[in-house]
Amino acid sequence: MSQYKVVNPATNEVEREFAEATDAEVQQILERSHRAFRSWRTTGKDERAKVLLRVAELYKERIDELAALITREMGKPTREAKGEIMLVVTIYKYYAENGADLLADTPLSPRAGGKAVIRKEPIGPLLGIMPWNFPYYQVARLAAPNLMAGNTIILKHAPQDPESALAIEQIFHDAGLAEDAYINIFATNDQVADMIADPRVAAVSVTGSERAGKAVAEIAGRNLKKAVLELGGSDPFIVLDSDDISKTVQGAVAGRMGNAGQACTAAKRMIVVGDLYDEFVDQFTAAMSSLKPGDPTDAASDLGPLSSELAAQRLMEQIDDAVNKGATVRTGGKRLDRPGAFVEPTVLTDVTPDMRAYHEELFGPAAVVYKVADVSEAVELANSSSFGLGGAVYSADPDRAAEVAALLDTGMVWINSPTGSMADLPFGGTKRSGFGRELGASGIDEFVNKKLVYTPAAR
């Protein structure tokens, strides 16, 4: 039985199934991508940019049908699905409009004289392993900069996103991308391992769980392949002070509940300094309680189901563990009495280190709120996590917030705003959240050969 199937999480019904690739098909795809690279790398940057601009246009033109696919596949409310697609449009446009400059030669000034430049050249076919939570956006972060750079892409999407995976491939085809420069594959985990090891694959990028990242990194390292890993997160949302607690709470809810809380950079740990704690908890709890889960195609629904029944079960195991060990449920904490993978918006307090919720990533509509005495304790608690993806610091004094941001062991910090994503800003983490960067200038630099070309001074 194939693992690639559409299981609507709003109903838990299987709606469509797709065949997995055979081993022979895997070999054919590897060879096709390798051949395509030899020609795509020589295609002019202006031509590559035209293709990416057309890709952006097609995403915008097809926004309704594309949004409907991921709403059915992983439960994202239609409004949020369209927001994801518009972010994708900005990513392809950004690299189309700026890619040539980002790839330009960098002149050096050798002390010995002569001329030297660093030339950025593509390295070959890349294997992308993508998750289900942002089906179009995650692919764009890999595909846009690397197709612009002249690499080719083999994309293994999440098993629950087969229709959107094929829709992405069709957009590239319709945009006029060179044949086989982007190929979708419905591969098994064993086939993925063989692909990483294959000499025709130059490097690998994975967005997903810590477990998946470890497996990919081990195979890539053994075969001397570069990897970019964007893994889990347990982002702190630090409230130092506030001259508008309602606005701060609004940011906390937005940061926690986007995509039903299923985002690596979601604000999962609310850390509140001093006397603000009680007021913050009261308002945050009220705001979370007011959210309306429901049919993700209904505009009246504030959030949809989790991505799958298994995801809902895992989150409930974490919540139940915390409650059984003494945590306080301020709101939620239960499954909704309706079909589908729904969990109530949940707020937990009094969470202690012996609970799973203290150490693990909560991937769903559940937040933990901590009270700390001062800034030092806030930073210590924030940095106690094994993850280091993003974070947010709120204060009426942005300079004070920036000073605290400098002390956080994370790849990204946003001031007076939930952690987000923009095409021209680098995205990535540290510690067990992975390594490497996507988006911005950093994203196009990850999988290029920075070749030195040196001409000595005449003698």
Question: Which residues are known to be catalytic?
Answer: 230, 264
E strand or H helix that includes residue 330: strand 328-331
Q: 278 with 324: CB under 8 angstroms?
A: no
For residues 117 and 108, what is the distance between their CA atoms, to the nearest angstrom? 5
For residues 267 and 27, what is the distance between their CA atoms, to the nearest angstrom? 42
For residues 350 and 22, what is the distance between their CA atoms, to the nearest angstrom? 51
Token pair recorded at residue 16: 């469509």
For residues 281 and 22, what is the distance between their CA atoms, to the nearest angstrom? 53
**Which of 339, 344, 340, 341 is closest to 329 using CA atoms?**
344
Token pair recorded at residue 36: 């395509």
**Cross-strand bridge partners of residue 188:** none
Q: How far apart are the first and last CA of the chain?
A: 71
| Beta-carbon count within 10 A of 353 CB | 7
Which letter does DSSP use for residue 19 in this model?
P
Give residues with Cβ within 8 angstroms of 121, minimum separation 6: 41, 150, 448, 449, 451
CA 145 vs. chain centroid, Å, equals 15
E strand or H helix that includes residue 295: none
Q: 271 with 239: CB under 8 angstroms?
A: yes
Q: Counting Cβ atoms within 10 Å, is residue 45 exposed (0-12), middle (13-18) or buried (19+)?
A: middle
Give residues with Cβ within 8 angstroms of 319, minimum separation 6: 329, 333, 346, 348, 357, 366
